[in-house]
Structure 1
Amino acid sequence: MQSKFVIVGGGAGGLELACKLGRKLGPQAVMLVDSRLFHIWKPSLHEVAAGTLDVHQEGLSYQMLAHDNHFTFVYGPMLALDAQQRVLTVGAIVNNGEETLPERQIGFEKLVMAVGSTSNYFGVPGAAEHTISLNATEDAERFRLTLLKLLTLAELKKSVSADAGVDVVIIGGGATGVELAAELREASDVYATYGFRQLKAERDVRITLLEGAPRILAPLPEKVSSAALDLLHQRAVKVVTDTRVTAIDGAGVTAGDTVYPAQIVVWAAGIKAPDFLKTLGLPTTKSGQLDVDGTLAVKGFDYIYALGDCAACVGPDGKLVPPRAQAAHQMADYLLETFLRQHRNQPPQGKPYVYRDYGSLVSFGQTTSVGSLMGSLKGLSWFVDGFVARLMYVSLHLMHHKAVLGTVRTAVLAVARFLIKRTTPLVKLH
C-alpha cells in the first residue's frame, strides 16, 4: 500500500487532520492507521467508566468516517518504521487465534505520528499491576464492569454486614481524576435506584482522591481549584492533598504512613509518550516524546511530523506545549495548512506553530462544570461555573464531532442522544 499522507493514531488531533485533509485531497492521498475500529473523544472516558455514557452508542466507526470524509482507513497497530525508505509496518489482526488481517507495509511521502500518550507510573511499586488507567475505551469499560460486580457483591453482603460497600481510590487530582470522582458519585446515586436498594451511595460507595500537590487542579487558577474542592466535598468525596503514593497492592494504596483500603484503584497521576516511539529511530526527549521543531516536523526528518501528546514542541516562551486536547486540535489545523500548501506546490507557512490557551473546563457530572476562560490579553481570565460552564463543556465535544461529522450530522446526533437518554436507563447496567 502507498499513500501521500499517512497519519498514525485516530485520536482527536489525528482524526480531525485525516477528515479535513481527506475532504480536500481524497482517499488516494490520505490514510489513517489505528489499532481500534471505533473512535471516542478521550475527555469523555470518565463518563464511560462511570456508566453515564454508553461507549457502544458514543463510538464512531473509523470505516464510516473514512467513507464520509474521503480518506483510507487501515486497521492494525504500528509495529515498525523504516524512516529512510519511508515505509511503516502495520501488525496483523488476530481474533480467537485466527488471523483475519495479515501484517502489512505502507509506503508514504509524509508521515504524521499522532499516537497520544499512556500512563506514567513513576516507578510506584504495584501501580501497573493493581490500577486501572483511563487510556482507552477498554480501560473505561473494565472499570465500569468491575464497579457493577462490586456493587452487586456489596448489595448481597449488606444484609449480614453493615460495613459492606465499595472503596474507590483515585490517584491524581488533575482533570481526569476530579471528573471521574464527580461523575462516579453522581452515577452511584443512580445505580442505587436500579436494584441496589440496600446501598446508600454516599455511605457505601466510598470515594477517595489522592493528590501529591498542595491542591487539586494545580495547573489551573486557584479559584477554579477551590470551587472544584467545594463541589467534591458536597458530593462526599474525600480529598487528600500533599500526599505521595509509595505502594499499591490488592488490598489498597499506601501513602506515607497511611493505608487507604480499595477494591478499585484508578491511576490518573501522570502521562508519558508510548514506549515504542523510542524504537523507531527518531529523535526523542527524556520523556519519550518525539522531538519536533516549530513546524511540528521531527528534527532531522522534513517528511515526518508529530502532533498531540506524543510531540515535544517548545513554544516561543521556551515552555513545552501542554498535553491537552485543544493543543492537538490546533496542531491538526496547522499541519492541514502545511500539507495543503505542499500539495499545491505553494511556499511553506511563514510562521511556526504557536499554542493558544483558551482556558480549561472541568466537568462535575451531567449538570455543572467549572473552569476558566482565557482572554485575548495575556494573563486575563474569567472564572465560569454552573450550567453555563456545563454548556461550554458540552460544546467542546460537539465542536469535535462537527470537525469529523459535519454540522448537520452533529446536530442530528445531538438531538438523537438527547432523546435516547429519555428512553434508556441513566447508567449502563449490562
Structure 2
Amino acid sequence: MHRFIVVGGGAGGLELATRLGDRYAAHKNKGDVRAQVTLVDRNPTHIWKPLLHEVAAGSMDPFTQELEYAAQARWHGFEFQQGELTGLDRANKRLTLGTVLDDDGAELLPERQLEYDTLIIAIGSTTAFFGVKGAPEFSLALDTVSQAERFRKRLIAACMRAEHQVHEPVESNPGTSSPSSEPRIQVAIVGGGATGVELSAELRNTAQVLSAYGLHKLDPRHDVGIVLIEAGPRILPALQERVSTATAELLTKLGVKLMIGETVAEVAPGMIRTASGKTVRADLTVWAAGIKAPAILSELDGLPVNRLGQLIVRRTLQTEIDDNIFALGDCAACPWPGNERNVPPRAQAAHQQASFLMKALAARLENKPLPEFTYRDFGSLVSLGHFSAVGNLMGGVIGGNMLIEGLFARFMYMSLYRLHIAALHGYARMVLDTFAHWLRRTTLPRVKLH
C-alpha cells in the first residue's frame, strides 16, 4: 500500500488529494494500483483563496462557500489529518504535525508523526511585509478567512462610528487637495497587484450597499475614500501594460485614488508614511504588497529553498535532493522554460500542476520515468466587483493574445471558480451548487451586514 501524503489543502493540494482518492481508494478501481492518500491542513475547511477579497468586502459569506475537508475525504476515499507541518525526517520518511488547539486554547489534537512513501507539499504562501516598520502590527493581511472577516467587521464599525464623530481631516498630499475634500473614513490598500485592485473595487460596492441598508448615512463615494498605493510604475505589474491601463481607468471612474510610484516606509496607527515624505491618512490599512513562502519550508531537513523561501523543484516537481518529495503551487520554485522567471504563483498554475502530478505519480507507482511539467499561460483576469472585469486571454484559449473587459470578462472570471468546484465535485454537482447559491443570494443582502 503506497502512502501518499499531500500537505496543504489549497487549490492545487485539495484537487490532487481528491483525484488521488478517486483513483486509488480501496472501494473504487479495484483492478488498479491501490494506495493510501492522506491530506494534511492546519484548518478544518477549505475556501478558494482568490475569493478572500470578496469575503473582506462582505460581498461573499464565507460559510456558504467553505468546504469541510473531512466531508471531502469521506466522499472521495482519502483521509484527512488536521495539523500544521512542523518538522520533517527525510531519512525515515516521516513528517511531524504540531498540536491543534481549540478556540479556548485547550489541546484538541496532540503532536503527531505520519509516515509517507511520497510526500507532496502544497502549503501555498503568506503575506510578505518586506521589513516595513509597523506593517505587521498596524495593517491587515488577507491570507485567511478569519483575517478577511476581521477586516470586514472593522470596516462596518468604522463606517458606523464615522457618521457620529466630529471629523478632523488630515491632508494626505499637501498642495493637491483641501481638507474639506477629505473623506470621513479612508481605507488604504498597499499593493497594486490583483488582490489590491480587486479589493478596492469591491469596497466601493460595499460602501454603497452599507449606505443603502442604513448602516451609515455617509456619502458612499465622497465620504468613504479608497487609496491604492503601488511602489511600481503601474498597477498590476505582473500583467500586460494595456490590461493595467484599462484597469486604472476603471478604478479612477469608481473613485479609487491611485498613488503610483510610492514606496511605503512606515505604517502607523491611522496613517501611512511613504519614502518620498508623503503622509496618507488610513483609518484601515490592508497590506497586499507581496507574498513569500511559509518559513517552515526553510527548516525541512535541508531541502533547498530560493530567496523567497520556496522549495526549489525540477521540472518533474521533485525537490532537488529528494525524489520522494514533490512540491506544487505558490510554495514551489518551478522552472519555466523560455522565461527568465519561474512559474508564476497563480491558481491556474496550481491547477495545472495538480493535473500533471496525477500522471507523474501514476508513472512513479509503475516505476516509469517521470514526465516534465510545462506551464501554459492562459492569461489573467481581474475582477472589479459587479462593476466590471478586465484581463487578457492567451495561448490555447484563442490562439493569440486579446484584451477583454466588461460582461464577458466578468463571466470568464466567475467561471474560474466554477471550474475549481467541478474539479472537486464533478460537473453535475457544480451545476447544482451554482444554482443553489444563486437561489440563496436572492434571499440575502448583497453584502454581509453583521
- State the TM-score bracket (shorter-chain normalisation): over 0.9
Give the deviation of 1:376 after TM superposition. Answer: 4.2
Task: Report the residue type matching 2:315 in the other structure.
Answer: G
1:43 corresponds to which residue?
Answer: 50
Q: Any idea what SS the aligned residue of 2:38 has? A: strand
Decide whether aligned partners of structure 1 residues 9 and 231 sit closer, same or farther in structure 2, where only a CA change above 3 A counts: same
In structure 2, distance between residues paired with 1:150 and 1:380: 46
Work out which of the residue numbers 30, 51, 69 in structure 1 matches 2:37: 30
Q: Any idea what SS the aligned residue of 1:29 has? A: strand
Q: Any idea what SS the aligned residue of 1:203 has? A: coil
Task: Report the residue type matching 1:230 in the other structure.
Answer: E
**Do the aligned residues in 2 keep the contact of 1:308 with 1:331 (CA within 8 Å)?**
yes
Give the deviation of 1:278 after TM superposition. Answer: 0.8
2:248 corresponds to which residue?
Answer: 229
**Is 1:330 the counterpart of 2:349 in the alignment?**
no
In structure 2, distance between residues paired with 1:192 and 1:378: 42
1:268 corresponds to which residue?
Answer: 288
Task: Report the residue type matching 1:324 in the other structure.
Answer: R
Q: Any idea what SS the aligned residue of 1:356 has? A: coil
Q: Any idea what SS the aligned residue of 2:358 has? A: helix
In structure 1, distance between residues paired with 2:352 and 2:391: 20
Taking the TM superposition and a 5 Å limit, the aligned residue runs for 1:143-158 are 143-157=151-165
Work out which of the residue numbers 335, 340, 354 in structure 1 matches 2:362: 340
Give the deviation of 1:78 after TM superposition. Answer: 1.1
In structure 1, distance between residues paired with 2:168 and 2:130: 41
In structure 1, distance between residues paired with 2:168 and 2:313: 60
In structure 2, distance between residues paired with 1:225 and 1:298: 35
The sequence identity of aligned pairs, in percent, is: 43
Deviations 1:313-351 (A, max 9, x none): 1122243111111111111111111112223x15224x4
**Do the aligned residues in 2 keep the contact of 1:6 with 1:108 (CA within 8 Å)?**
yes
In structure 2, distance between residues paired with 1:222 and 1:315: 21
**Is 1:218 the counterpart of 2:237 in the alignment?**
yes
1:306 corresponds to which residue?
Answer: 327
Task: Report the residue type matching 1:6 in the other structure.
Answer: I
In structure 2, distance between residues paired with 1:398 and 1:170: 28
2:30 corresponds to which residue?
Answer: none
**Is 1:382 the counterpart of 2:402 in the alignment?**
yes
In structure 1, distance between residues paired with 2:195 and 2:153: 19
Task: Report the residue type matching 1:407 in the other structure.
Answer: Y
Q: Any idea what SS the aligned residue of 1:394 has? A: helix
Task: Report the residue type matching 1:19 in the other structure.
Answer: T
**Do the aligned residues in 2 keep the contact of 1:3 with 1:31 (CA within 8 Å)?**
no
2:174 corresponds to which residue?
Answer: none
Give the deviation of 1:155 after TM superposition. Answer: 2.8
Work out which of the residue numbers 297, 300, 308 in structure 2 matches 1:287: 308
Give the deviation of 1:20 after TM superposition. Answer: 0.7
Deviations 1:400-424 (A, max 9, x none): 0000111111111101111111101
Task: Report the residue type matching 1:206 in the other structure.
Answer: G
In structure 2, distance between residues paired with 1:323 and 1:280: 21
**Do the aligned residues in 2 keep the contact of 1:401 with 1:410 (CA within 8 Å)?**
yes
| TM-score (normalised: structure 1) | 0.95
In structure 2, distance between residues paired with 1:159 and 1:375: 52
**Do the aligned residues in 2 keep the contact of 1:158 with 1:164 (CA within 8 Å)?**
no
**Is 1:258 the counterpart of 2:278 in the alignment?**
yes
Q: Any idea what SS the aligned residue of 1:319 has? A: coil
In structure 2, distance between residues paired with 1:181 and 1:415: 28
Aligned length: 427
Decide whether aligned partners of structure 1 residues 196 and 6 sit closer, same or farther in structure 2, where only a CA change above 3 A counts: same
In structure 2, distance between residues paired with 1:245 and 1:99: 40
In structure 1, distance between residues paired with 2:398 and 2:130: 34
**Is 1:194 the counterpart of 2:201 in the alignment?**
no
In structure 2, distance between residues paired with 1:69 and 1:75: 17
In structure 2, distance between residues paired with 1:277 and 1:160: 47
1:6 corresponds to which residue?
Answer: 5
In structure 1, distance between residues paired with 2:216 and 2:100: 44
**Do the aligned residues in 1 keep the contact of 2:389 with 2:405 (CA within 8 Å)?**
yes
| TM-score (normalised: structure 2) | 0.91
**Is 1:72 the counterpart of 2:79 in the alignment?**
yes
Work out which of the residue numbers 278, 284, 304 in structure 1 matches 2:298: 278
**Is 1:21 the counterpart of 2:13 in the alignment?**
no
Give the deviation of 1:159 after TM superposition. Answer: 9.9
Q: Any idea what SS the aligned residue of 1:206 has? A: strand
**Do the aligned residues in 1 keep the contact of 2:167 with 2:184 (CA within 8 Å)?**
no
Decide whether aligned partners of structure 1 residues 261 and 68 sit closer, same or farther in structure 2, where only a CA change above 3 A counts: same
**Do the aligned residues in 2 keep the contact of 1:86 with 1:107 (CA within 8 Å)?**
yes
**Do the aligned residues in 2 keep the contact of 1:158 with 1:198 (CA within 8 Å)?**
no
1:122 corresponds to which residue?
Answer: 130
User: Runs in 1 of length 4+ with deviation above 4 angstroms?
Assistant: 158-164, 376-379
Bigger Cα displacement from structure 2, 160-169 vs 42-51: 160-169
Q: Any idea what SS the aligned residue of 1:414 has? A: helix
In structure 2, distance between residues paired with 1:94 and 1:177: 32
2:442 corresponds to which residue?
Answer: 422
**Is 1:142 the counterpart of 2:162 in the alignment?**
no
Decide whether aligned partners of structure 1 residues 429 and 135 sit closer, same or farther in structure 2, where only a CA change above 3 A counts: same
Task: Report the residue type matching 1:135 in the other structure.
Answer: D
Q: Any idea what SS the aligned residue of 1:409 has? A: helix
**Do the aligned residues in 2 keep the contact of 1:154 with 1:164 (CA within 8 Å)?**
no
Q: Any idea what SS the aligned residue of 1:424 has? A: coil
In structure 2, distance between residues paired with 1:170 and 1:405: 35
Give the deviation of 1:259 after TM superposition. Answer: 0.5
Deviations 1:244-286 (A, max 9, x none): 1111111211112110011111111111111111111211112
Q: Any idea what SS the aligned residue of 2:195 has? A: helix
Cα RMSD, aligned residues only: 1.9
**Do the aligned residues in 1 keep the contact of 2:160 with 2:216 (CA within 8 Å)?**
no
Work out which of the residue numbers 223, 244, 257 in structure 1 matches 2:263: 244
Decide whether aligned partners of structure 1 residues 219 and 296 sit closer, same or farther in structure 2, where only a CA change above 3 A counts: same
Task: Report the residue type matching 2:334 in the other structure.
Answer: C
In structure 2, distance between residues paired with 1:160 and 1:257: 21
In structure 2, distance between residues paired with 1:397 and 1:102: 35
